[in-house]
Chains A and B, each alone.
Chain A
Amino acid sequence: MTITPHGSLKKAPPLTIPPRQAARLPESDAAAGGLFEAIQRGEAFETVVHEATRGEKPVLEVSNFNLWYGEAQALHDISLVCPDGKVTALIGPSGCGKSTLLRCVNRMNDLIDSVRVSGDMTLNGESIYTAGVDVIELRKRIGMVFQKPNPFPMSIYENVVYSLRIDGERDRSVLDEVCEQSLRGAGLWDEAKDRLQSSALAMSGGQQQRLCIARAIAAEPDVLLLDEPCSALDPIATGRIEELIDELKGTYSILIVTHNMQQASRASDYTAFMYLGRLVEFGPTDEIFLQPRLKETEDYVTGRFG
């Protein structure tokens, strides 16, 4: 699936809904008169949240979250609940703020001087943004995997056990154990077990990305953040990562950004559709893909958007 930057939106042919689906769509007044245009004009609107999301036990709650890069607002009043042990996918056109939102969860945006935020997030009920939060501790409870694999220039073994090393773990048997478990968890054990001491940089891109996942889960985080983890990988490596996500869910709560609609529909339990810094619709993945409430969501997930 290809994504067109939202700049080309105006050039898109008139959107038409096939009768079969139009009949299924409830009359949403937000959809009437072009929701995207309304958002572009900066008008307020209500996120469409499916009821099915409310019964779940949340691990991460985002409430009325706003973010500015200098003067430019990149996130507008986002409220979102990530259910415990489930996979939540963030989808939306390029530049809509998916990565920004993801990086707010472990406060990576603290590194950017111009960033200002309002609203809050909670992880297992504890606030992330109140004053006095130990950001280092917070980040240790959250694993993150980036678009581009970024193993450190050291051995495979050292990469995996890095977070433990930093915490001062010296016991070789503990480190060995964690290394094996994490590599197994990341589906890399069989390929890596005979070369644990060789450089991580000598691995293939797909292996490096799974190594990064192993590194992230070695610290047993509460939440795993994945920012387009497969976009630099070939279909086979992508398939392996998707299998991996499937195996990890239940044990871990996962928030994944993806541009790949098949991936979102295959791998996730819940899907959030974002547009220009707003959360447009949020619900169970099959509902978002098969019975979206908004015409705009439907157009996006079916690829008619661009």
Chain B
Amino acid sequence: MKVKSTDRILVWSLRAASATAGSLVLLILCFLVLESVEGITRVGAGRFLNDPGWHPSQGAESEFSLVPMIAATIASTIGAILLAGPVGVLAAVFCRFYAPPKLARAFRSIVELLAGIPSVVYGFWGLVTLVPLVRELAPPGASLLAGILVLAMMIVPTVALLAFAALKNVPPGHLEGATALGLSRWTTIVKVVFPSAASGLGVAIVLGTMRAIGETMAVLMVCGNITKVPSSLFDPVRTLTANIALELGYATQEHRAVLFVSGLALMIMIVLLVFVQERLQRRARLA
């Protein structure tokens, strides 16, 4: 009897906890949608894409184009994942298949540490180190490129750790079988390990991408924050996240509502990625 009642308490507190977590997410989503609906109806959805620029607080003359911010977010995220994806996966491959055990362990601890560094520190480092370097290539320095580099630095640890987990999941039988057939280590990795870990590696990339999309502080510090569609890597840009962080504090009326719309846009991107990730994960479990 006693066991049963403690069991019931445990079950109910677990239920309460997950219900709280779930309803919080729903609450945030509802709030975003509600606030955005107001923006969409008052401004008109077409203007987010068709207005000539972003001048949100000039009364009747206001312009509400989200295109520069969306372009900046997409460009910086793609750039970051193009750099961090291969680097992270190769780091994981090195750690799993090439490094001597001691080195591999040290390497993993360092990567775990890197994954835990607050983003403002990355931003700070980017501002004082990377931006001047980029400025030497082409002024002004604070630019899309600087943002891509800082983002890449930030998500390499995430990608590497998840990729390592994916590689570890490859059944040892496949490795032994490949070795016994006379495949070299690299051939084994390319022909047997990668196909077998493909879904897991995909999840690593997707989660890295999500981190890059959502990152605010570091990009805000190094990107220059000009609301213009970039025409080169050296142009300053402003991402959706940075835009919200910079303006929400003083935005009123339509301006405020449109910021919520941009928040919703971010949320939609993330939901799509979560969807992709779920599918990959299901495949990884089946494989």
Cβ of B100 and Cβ of A166 under 8 Å apart? Answer: no
Question: Is B187 a contact of A166 with CB atoms below 8 Å?
Answer: yes
CB atoms of B287 and A215 under 8 A apart: no
A111 to B180, CA, bound (A): 11
Chain A residues with CB under 8 A of B192 = 152
State whether B184 touches A136 (Cβ < 8 A): yes
* A212 closest partner in B (C-beta): B177
What is the CA–CA distance of A166 and B173 in the complex, to the nearest angstrom?
18
**B191 interface residue (CB < 8 Å to A):** yes
Give the complex CA separation of A111 and B101 in angstroms. Answer: 12
Chain A 200-216: CB-based contact to B (< 8 A → 1; otherwise 0):
00000000000010011
- For the complex, what is the distance from the CA of A78 to the CA of B181, rounded to whole Å? 25
The answer on a CB contact under 8 Å between A113 and B184 is no
Q: List 17 A-B contacts (CB under 8 A).
A: A108-B179, A108-B180, A136-B182, A139-B180, A139-B182, A140-B182, A144-B180, A146-B176, A148-B173, A150-B174, A150-B177, A152-B178, A152-B196, A153-B174, A166-B187, A215-B177, A215-B181
CB distance from B13 to the nearest CB of A (A): 41
Given the contacts A113-B100, A166-B191, A152 and B182 also touching, CB distance less than 8 Å: no
| Closest B residue, CB atoms, query A225 | B180
Q: Number of residues in B with C-beta < 8 Å to the partner? A: 20
Q: How far is A153 from B171 in the complex, measured between Cα atoms in Å?
A: 10
* Complex contact A153–B179 (CB within 8 A): no
- Pair A166/B180 contact, Cβ less than 8 Å: no
- Beyond A136-B184, A140-B182, A219-B182, whether A154 also contacts B177 by CB under 8 A is no
**In chain A between 123 and 159, which residues have their CB closer than 8 angstroms to a CB of chain B?**
136-140, 142-144, 146, 148-154
Q: Judge if B251 is at the interface, Cβ distance under 8 Å.
A: no
Task: Point out the residues of chain A lying under 8 angstroms from B180, CB to CB.
Answer: 106, 108, 139, 142-144, 146, 216
Interface set, chain B 141-181, CB cutoff 8 A to A: 171, 173-174, 176-181
A289 contacts B by Cβ under 8 Å: no
Q: CB-CB < 8 A to B174: which residues of A?
A: 150, 152-153
Query: Does A150 lie within 8 Å of B171, measured CB to CB?
Result: yes
CB contacts (< 8 Å) of A108 on chain B: these are 176, 179-180
A305 close to chain B: CB less than 8 A: no
Chain A residues whose C-beta falls within 8 Å of the C-beta of B179 in the assembled complex: 108, 111, 139
Cβ contacts under 8 Å, B195 to chain A: 153-154
CA distance A94 to B144 in the complex (A): 62
A-side residues, CB < 8 A to B, are 106, 108, 111, 113, 136-140, 142-144, 146, 148-154, 162-163, 166, 212, 215-216, 219
Is B133's beta carbon under 8 Å from chain A? no
Contact: B176 with A163, CB < 8 Å?
no
Chain B residues with Cβ under 8 A from A166's Cβ?
A: 181-183, 187, 191
Minimum Cβ distance to chain B for residue A75 (Å) = 19
Q: Could you tell me the distance between the alpha carbons of A114 and B181 in the complex, rounded to whole angstroms? A: 23
Q: A11 to B265, alpha carbons, bound, how many Å?
A: 73
Judge whether B176 and A113 touch: CB under 8 Å: no
Bound state CA distance, A216 and B178, in angstroms?
Answer: 11
- In the assembled complex, the Cα of A162 lies from the Cα of B181 at a distance in Å of 9
Q: A212 vs B174: C-alpha distance in the bound complex, in angstroms?
A: 11
Question: Which of chain A's residues has its CB closest to B175's CB?
Answer: A111
Of all chain B residues, which has the CB nearest A139? B182
What is the distance, in angstroms, from A135's C-beta to the closest C-beta of chain B?
A: 8
Min CB distance B166 to A, Å, is: 14
A136-B183, A163-B182, A219-B181 known, 4 other contacts, Cβ within 8 Å: A108-B176, A137-B182, A146-B173, A163-B181
Cβ < 8 Å to A, chain B residues 205-241: none
Q: How far is the CA of A91 from the CA of B181 in the complex (A)?
A: 25
CB contacts (< 8 Å) of A162 on chain B: these are: 181
What residues on B are CB-neighbors of A111 within 8 Å?
Answer: 179
Tell me the complex Cα distance, A156–B209, Å: 36
Chain B neighbourhood of A150, CB < 8 A: 171, 173-174, 176-177
- CB-CB under 8 A from A152, the residues of chain B are 174, 177-178, 192, 196
Is B177 touching A146 in the complex (CB atoms < 8 A)? yes
Residue of A nearest to B196 (CB): A153
Of the candidates A113, A140, A153, A154, the one whose C-beta lies within 8 Å of that of B181 is: A140
Residues in A neighbouring B177, C-beta threshold 8 A? 146, 150-152, 212, 215
Q: Once the chains are docked, how many angstroms separate the CA of A143 from the CA of B182?
A: 9
Most chain-A Cβ atoms within 10 A of its Cβ — which of B177, B191, B195? Answer: B177
Please, how many angstroms separate the alpha-carbon atoms of A108 and B184 in the complex?
Answer: 12
CA–CA, A136 to B183, complex, Å?
Answer: 7
Residue of B nearest to A159 (CB): B177
**Which residues B67-104 have CB closer than 8 A to chain A?**
100-101
- Looking across the interface, which residue of chain A has its beta carbon closest to that of B191? A166
Bound: A241/B90 CA distance, A: 41
| Chain A residues whose CB sits within 8 angstroms of the CB of B184 once the complex forms | 136
* Closest-CB distance, A101 to chain B (whole angstroms): 15
Most chain A CB within 10 A, of B100, B101, B176, B192, is at B176
